[in-house]
Each structure stands twice: as structure tokens, then as C-alpha cells.
Amino acid sequence: MSGSPETESQGLEESPEAWSSDLEVEHGLDHGAFFLETNPQAGVTTEAEEDEFRTAAHRVRARAGESTRSSDPTQIYLKELGFKPLLNAEEEFALARRVQQNDANARRGMIEANLRLVVKIARHYCNRGLPFLDLIEEGNLGLITAVEKFDPERGFRFSTYATWWIRQTIERAIMNQSRTVRLPIHVIKELNVYLRAAKTLGQHSDRKPTPEDIAELIDKPIDEIRRILELAPDATSLETPVSQDGKKTLGEFLTDETHVDPETALADENLKAKLEEWFGELEPRHREVVARRYGLFDYERQTLEEVGKAVGLTRERVRQLQLEAIKQLRTRIRETGWLHDEYPEFGED
């Protein structure tokens, strides 16, 4: 059942050999691929812990040098993860309680035991603009955040909770780093929704979907669709010569017709960031239901029936979870004084 505590950890009991063959990539790094060694500030709180992680990294490189099958640091890193034992429910609960008490060793143990979860999730984001090892590094940052925020008393497994944070950091990194011109996060998310809709339409037609087709499919105003889709083509440098003598560039002929007041833009960004924060406070089941229903966090927009099949619940139960989640989001918005009119999709019952 998607979204269950065992979902993302399923299949993590593979042998080191299975890991290397299953996750082969073409990206190698001369300086080594061990994340916690190259990013000691992420997950290391003392000098002793930093030394321990560096020792582990040297062990990985030594094993890489001795290997006759492969010298790819990525594969060696994956093999190293294969030797790290997973936590059962009791061990996980005990470690999480110690993390809440600021136990650095417990924090490190939780991180190490779940590094394979990051790799499993990062694999789904390959060919999206970032190298595989960069995806792993970003996912590890999400894992660290999840370890710090996880509350074992709430009754669900850590893998369920951490999955959302890992996906969130990876997706944000892709959005921020894979475009020549960076767009606001909320604009990119809207663009992704429209592009997925266009892809769906294209699979059932011999012609390229029009903005009108997309607007009809997702029930959005045609003007809004056109505005966002204008951002989709690959960026062209403003320094591109456009005159015969090459002295005039594209940037000299462009005017800003859509100037936005900086204060308005900042307020909008703050509002979007707040919504993401509140979304992270939802229970995992509520979060997954809402994400699937509204096409968030790399999910396709789904009907109640489709969500029910994916998570193993009835259509009516999915509807109840959706309403509960929306109610909680509305409450948080009202408590902080934000107007929920900015989010009409969360105002529908």
C-alpha cells in the first residue's frame, strides 16, 4: 500500500551486489562520492563524529582501489550502504527518542540507517537536470531535516515521514538549479502541472495539445495557462547577437512588460513557503492524499477513486482524509493571519 511505513523501505534488504547493478550510473567524481565526508556539516555535530565519517570515506575509497570489478565511486558508495543494517521498529523508536534528547550518536545512527532510502528516492529523479550524486546529496539534507523533526510518538514509521522531506529537498534543488533562468518555486510547480497535462493529452492525440485543450482538462482559465506556458521553452541568452554586425544583442530589444512590485513578489514567496511548511505538519496519510489529489510533489493529479486504489482505502475514506487535511491547512492559515483566498484550490469541499 502506497504511503504505508514499509513502502519506501521495501526492497532495501538487497545485497551490495544487487545495489550496484540496480543503481548503475555514468557519473563519477574524482574527489569521491561519500556524501557525509564531503559535507561533514550535514549530520555531524562533533569533531569525533566528523573523523569517524572521514574514516568511513577512506574505507570506501580503499575498497574502490582494491576492487577488480569497478572503480566507480558511486557504485562503491552504494555497496558501502548495502552493509549498513536497517532498523526494526523498536530500534527506530528508541533511537528517535534519543534524538529528541539531543543525542548526537543516535542522530548519526538514524541518518546512517536511512541513507539507502535516499538513494531509492533519488533514483526516480535521474535525468531531470542534476547528476545522480547531487540528487543523493540534496536528498540527504532532507533526511537530516526529517531526523530532527521526527516524533516517534505519533505512531508511524520514520521512512514514511522522511520520504516527504527527501522528495521536497530534491525537487526544490531541481527547480532551483536545472534552469538557466530561475523561476519562483510556485511558478515552476504550476508549469509542471500544465506540462504533465500536455503530456497526458499528447499520448491520446496525434497533434500537439493547445492551451485550450490543457485549460479544459485541468479546469483552469485559458489566460492563466498561456501565461505559465510562455515560461516553458528553453531559455535563450540575452547576449545572443541579433544584428548583422553582431553588435546588438537580444537583451537590448527586450522591455519588461510584467514588472512586479518587489514587496508584492516577496509577500507571495513568503506565502508559498508558509504553505509548504504547513503541508509538512500534516500526518503522512493526509499529506499523500492531498498531494495525489492536487498533483503536488511529482504526483499526477488523481481522482478520489485513483487515490483510493493507490493507498488502499475506499473512495469515501480518501474524501474524508482530504477534507480533514484541508481543514487543518485552513486553520493554520487563519491562525497566522494569511488569507486563504490565495489558495482557492484548498477552499473546495
pTM of the complete model: 0.41
N-term to C-term CA, the chain: 26
Condensed to tens digits (0 to 9), the pLDDT of residues 265-321 reads 555 566 666 677 778 888 888 988 988 888 776 778 888 999 999 889 999 999 999
Angle among Cα 294, 295, 298 to the nearest 5 degrees reads 150
Rounded CA gap, 272 and 251, in Å? 30
Domain span(s) for CATH 1.10.10.10 in the chain: 182-259, 261-349
CATH 3.40.50.620, applies to 182-259: no
**Which residues pair with residue 312 across a beta bridge?**
none
Domain span(s) for CATH 1.20.120.1810 in the chain: 16-177
- What are the grid coordinates assigned to 321, written together? 482524509
Spatial neighbors of 101 by CB under 8 A, at least 6 apart, are: none
Residue type, 25: V
Condensed to tens digits (0 to 9), the pLDDT of residues 116-147 reads 899 889 888 887 778 888 889 899 999 999 99
CATH C-level class of 261-349 = mainly alpha
Do 144 and 112 form a contact (C-beta atoms < 8 A)?
A: no
User: For the domain 16-177, what is the CATH code?
Assistant: 1.20.120.1810
Q: Is 241 helix (H, G, I), strand (E, B) or coil?
A: strand
